[in-house]
Amino acid sequence: MRFRVALTAMILCLCCGGLAAAQSSTDGTYGVGKTPTPEEIRAADITISPDGKNLPPGKGTAKAGAAIFAQKCAACHGENGYGGLAPILIKPEPPVKSSTPCLAPCIGPGSVMPLHAPYATVIWDYINRAMPFRQEGSLEPDEVYALTAFLLYKNGVIKEDEVLDQTTLPEVKMPNRDGYAIPDWKPGMPRPFPNKRKG
């Protein structure tokens, strides 16, 4: 159906003298691509909003997370969440420099990743999509909630018995919550520095 519309529009365009870059149909679309089912979109969509939108059902506590951490994370991140080959996840006392020099993104040596994120959802999202190494995406939502709770508890952000779920996770007040500014951007906009040349 869309193809027929497109064809008609193409003919119209040719009649009009072959307007360059003219779209192929009257509504400006090409009619290319497949419409995914809602299930297909749900399966692919692992993007979590800072306000918690798209978090799946489930829950977890630090206690449950400790056992999962020992089993699935400690080998790379260290038994206590530091001292491993992978980045520091639990703030050591006294502080130690990470053996991991710099990550992409470069959070910097000595920085504790879960404390750097302004929203707890960022931690949840990342563990869910990218951990554990070589078994990425294998964790169940309950496990991700539990691991997030464990890391936040060990870093002094939440209490040991707090339950994290769809509602409570986005409400966690992260220490770095106000630690960022979002710059504006428009096409053709210069940066604030250097300033325009004088004269």
Partner 1 sequence: MESKKSPTTKRATGSKQASRRKFLATGAAAAALGAVQTTAVPAAGQTAAPETKSLSDLIAYGDRSEYVKSVRVAVDERPSPDEFGLTFHVLTPLQDSVGIITPSSLHFIGTHRGSIVPDIDPKQHRLLIHGMVDRPLEFSMDDLRRFPAVSRVHFIECLGNHSKAKDKTVQETHGLTSCSEWTGVLLSTLLKECGVQKGASWVVSEGAEEVKGAGSIRLAKAMDDCIAAYGQNGEAVRPQQGFPLRLVVPGFEGIYNTKWLRRIKVVDRYYMTYNDYGHISKDEEVAALTFQWGPKSVITFPSGGQTLPGPGVYQLTGLAWSGGGAVRRVEVSTDGGETWKDAEIRGGVHPKAHTRFGMDWKWDGRECVVVSRSTDELGQVQPSRAELAAFFKVPPDYYKTHGVQGSDNTIQPWRVESDGSVHNAI
Contacts with partner 1 by CB under 8 A: the residue count is 62
Applying CB under 8 A, does 32 fall inside the site for partner 1? yes
Which of these, 140, 93, 125, lies nearest to 112 by C-alpha position?
A: 93
Q: Round to the nearest angstrom and report the end-to-end CA distance of the chain.
A: 59
Applying CB under 8 A, does 40 fall inside the site for partner 1? yes
Q: Are 165 and 58 in contact (CB under 8 A)?
A: yes
Q: Which of 17, 28, 57, 199 binds partner 1 (CB under 8 A)?
A: 28
Question: Which residue's entry shows tokens 């520095």?
Answer: 193
Residues 170-199 binding partner 1 (CB under 8 A) are: 178-194, 196-197
3-state secondary structure of 109: coil
Residues 103-122 binding partner 1 (CB under 8 A) are: 103-107, 116-119, 122
Site stretch for partner 1 (CB under 8 A), options 7-15, 35-43, 55-63, 140-148 = 35-43
C-beta of 93 vs 198, nearer to partner 1: 198
Which of these, 122, 124, 85, lies nearest to 105 by C-alpha position?
A: 122
C-beta of 93 vs 191, nearer to partner 1: 191
Q: Which of 46, 67, 70, 96 binds partner 1 (CB under 8 A)?
A: 46
Applying CB under 8 A, does 19 fall inside the site for partner 1? no
Residue by residue, DSSP assigns 43-73 as HH-----TT-TTPPS-EE-HHHHHHHHHHHT
Q: Count Cα neighbours of 50 within 13 Å in the Cβ-side half-sphere.
A: 6
Residues that bind partner 1 (CB under 8 A): 21, 28-30, 32-36, 40-41, 44-51, 76, 85-86, 100-107, 116-119, 122, 125-126, 129-130, 133-134, 136-137, 178-194, 196-197
